[in-house]
């Protein structure tokens, strides 16, 4: 899929105030600093559509971007950011979860995972929460440019093995990406294009 246009629409902290157009929507979620905002920029070929930072905790609201005037990408705050207060963390958690539960336009989520790290309880817990709320998701391994090809394969295989050894019968479909090299970006866009087509065929 080619991106002809990508525009910021709005930021807010409440699912009730999100855009009302009935367009398919894809949300990017994961731990702070995993590279959600950077991946949105890489997917859309923009340097600064979504705000990024080397310091975790940059994205603090639900951010909608309209793509090709007919679907939304959503950049969310990271979970597991240690440096915000307990009450702020609770508030994030509550509006992120209510976004996932109530947003009827949400077609599926992309859960980002730093490819260098072994499975973290917070990610596994969030993915099981999505599963128990019947929210479809893909895993996206980020920052692949930081590892050699052999190490990428080993890390991904170990991650998937741990998932199937614990809660899941099969691991969810996944993408291996780098916002620096754009690895995996066309694959994600093609999948979104396929899903948009699927959705429209059912309308
Ligand atoms: P929060 O908004 O704080 O939750 O973080 P985020 O997940 O949106 O991360 P962000 O995109 O702001 O990136 C965090 C840091 O990781 C920045 O310094 C990025 O430049 C860096 N980064 C993100 N993606 C990649 C990648 O694919 N490769 C490399 N080498 N660095 C990356
Ligand atoms: Mg961000």
The two structure tokens encoding residue 27: 């949300």
Could you tell me the residue range of the domain that residue 112 belongs to? 6-201
CATH number for the domain including 39?
Answer: 3.40.50.300
Ligand nearest to the CA of 111: 1
| Binding site membership of 78 for ligand 1 (Cβ less than 6 Å) | yes
Residue 42 lies in a domain: yes
Tell me how far apart the alpha carbons of residues 186 and 119 are, in angstroms, rounded to a whole number. Answer: 26
Residue 1 lies in a domain: no
The domain tally of the chain equals 1
Ligand nearest to the CA of 29: 1
Q: Kindly give the confidence (pLDDT) of every residue in the chain, 203 residues in length, as a single tens digit, with 9 standing for 90 and above.
A: 999 999 999 999 899 999 999 999 999 999 999 999 999 999 999 999 999 988 888 888 999 999 999 999 999 999 876 666 777 677 777 889 999 999 999 999 999 999 999 999 999 999 999 999 999 999 999 999 999 999 999 999 999 999 888 878 888 999 999 999 999 999 999 999 999 999 888 76
Residue minimizing CA distance to atom 19 of ligand 1: 54
Residue 188 lies in a domain: yes
DSSP conformational letter for 31: B
Exposure of 143 by Cβ count < 10 A (0-12 exposed, 13-18 middle, 19+ buried)? buried
Residue 129 lies in a domain: yes
Q: Is 198 helix (H, G, I), strand (E, B) or coil?
A: helix
DSSP conformational letter for 172: P
Q: Which pTM does this prediction carry? A: 0.95
- Nearest Cα residue to 176 out of 115, 127, 118: 115
């Amino acid at each position: 899929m080619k991106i002809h246009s990508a525009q910021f629409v709005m930021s807010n902290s409440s699912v009730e105030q999100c855009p009302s157009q009935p367009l398919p929507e894809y949300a990017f979620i994961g731990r702070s600093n995993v590279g959600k905002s950077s991946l949105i920029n890489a997917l859309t070929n923009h340097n600064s559509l979504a705000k990024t930072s080397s310091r975790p905790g940059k994205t603090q609201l639900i951010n909608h971007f309209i793509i090709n005037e007919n679907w939304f990408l959503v950049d969310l705050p990271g979970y597991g950011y240690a440096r915000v207060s307990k009450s702020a963390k609770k508030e994030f958690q509550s509006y992120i979860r209510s976004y996932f539960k109530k947003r009827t336009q949400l077609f599926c989520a992309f859960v980002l995972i730093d490819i260098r790290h072994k499975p973290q309880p917070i990610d596994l817990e969030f993915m099981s929460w999505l599963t128990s709320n019947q929210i479809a998701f893909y895993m996206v391994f980020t920052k692949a440019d930081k590892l050699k090809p052999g190490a990428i394969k080993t890390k991904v295989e170990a991650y998937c093995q741990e998932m199937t050894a614990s809660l899941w019968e099969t691991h969810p479909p996944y993408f291996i990406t780098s916002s620096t090299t754009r690895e995996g970006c066309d694959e994600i866009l093609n999948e979104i294009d396929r899903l948009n087509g699927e959705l429209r065929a059912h309308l």
